[in-house]
Structures are given as structure tokens and as C-alpha cells.
Structure 1
Amino acid sequence: CDRLMSRPSWQTTEATPEVIEAFKSRMRARMAQTPTT
């Protein structure tokens, strides 16, 4: 878990469930936009 938390460079703010969910949904939207090969 520690490795995951310290790895991302955008991890400057607290990783609250709210932030994580927002990030997940954002990634999901981006994944949906680009066709996966």
C-alpha cells in the first residue's frame, strides 16, 4: 500500500476516498474516450 501511495507524482494532496473516486471516474472517462486495442 505504501508503495502505491508514494509512487504517483500527483499525490500531493490527501488521498481521501472522495479524491480517489474522482480520480477513478476521471480515468474511466478517459479510458472510454480512447479505443482500447
Structure 2
Amino acid sequence: MTLVLDRNFICHLRILFCYFAHNDDNTQKIKNQYARMTY
């Protein structure tokens, strides 16, 4: 259980990092990808 949660947490951190690192054109794609993973 904890391993799965940690892996998901790392994925979220990675997506958030990309969200802040990339320009506006890419952030929309990352937003959609993040929404798909969370829901």
C-alpha cells in the first residue's frame, strides 16, 4: 500500500514540476494528464 502511494506521490511531484518548468502550451497538456491520473 505504502509503495503505491509513494509512487503516485512521486508522479504527482513530477507532473507539478513539469507544470512549472514548461511554457503555457505544454501546461494545458500536463493539466489534462494530471486530471486523468487523479480521477
TM-score norm. by structure 1 comes to 0.52
- Partner of 1:16, secondary structure, is helix
Larger radius of gyration: 1
- Partner of 1:33, secondary structure, is helix
2:5: which partner in 1? 18
Deviating 4+ runs (over 2 angstroms): none
Q: Which has the higher contact order (CA 8 A, sep 6+)?
A: 2
Alignment gaps of 5+ in structure 1: 1-14
2:14: which partner in 1? 27
Identity of aligned residues (%): 0
Offset at residue 35 of structure 1 (A): 1.4
Alignment gaps of 5+ in structure 2: 24-39
What is the aligned residue count?
22
